[in-house]
Amino acid sequence: MYAIVEIAGQQFKVAKDQKVFVHRLQEKEGSKVSFDNVLLLDDGKITVGAPAIKGAVVTAKVLSHLKGDKVIVFKKKRRKGYRVKNGHRQFLTEIQIEGISAKAPAKKAAAKKAEKPTEEAKAEKKPVAKKAAAPKKPAAKKTAAKKEEK
């Protein structure tokens, strides 16, 4: 079973117990993270989302925060004396995929039901009366009135 999931703006093909390096996440080391933007799911049959699969969740555990290898950026224009050398190290988070499920946990489903406004809450909201704009007079009458005055 594998899934293609979007994590921190990038898409990853993940499977259970796989370790993945992703862009730095805000969660602390040892905490659990769930990603609900699952784009494709293969559990014997392939399910493709449009754009994401509703209810599918990938859970992971944050193992560590670290920096990636140094990448050297060297720019040069020949015969011009122009040379610039820069280095960059990306901040990364190592996560381990703990599970892939096609259905969301019951806790999230219950929370979503609680967020929906009930009929009573809808009845309590009163519509705001808007002032009606004064009707505009046609321009033809104004010009006719001016001609009569002259």
114-142 pLDDT, tens digit each: 555 666 555 566 566 666 666 776 666 55
The reported pLDDT for the residue numbered 126 is 59
Give the burial class of 96: count Cβ atoms within 10 A of its Cβ; 0-12 exposed, 13-18 middle, 19 or more buried.
middle
The reported pLDDT for the residue numbered 38 is 95
The reported pLDDT for the residue numbered 9 is 93
In this predicted structure, the answer to whether residue 64 has a pLDDT above a threshold of 80 is yes
In angstroms, rounded to a whole number, what is the distance separating the alpha carbons of residues 127 and 123? Answer: 10
pLDDT (tens digit, 9 = 90+) per residue, 73-100?
A: 999 999 999 999 999 999 999 999 999 9
Q: Are 33 and 68 in contact (CB under 8 A)?
A: no
C-beta contacts of 39-44 below 8 A and 24+ residues apart: 39/3, 39/4, 39/5, 39/6, 39/11, 40/3, 40/4, 41/3, 41/100, 41/102, 42/1, 42/2, 42/3, 43/1, 43/100, 43/102, 44/1
In this predicted structure, the answer to whether residue 31 has a pLDDT above a threshold of 90 is yes
- Residue 110 phi/psi, 5-degree rounding, is -65, -35
DSSP state of 26: S
Query: Which of the four pLDDT bands, split at 50, 70 and 90, describes residue 103?
Result: confident
In this predicted structure, the answer to whether residue 109 has a pLDDT above a threshold of 60 is no
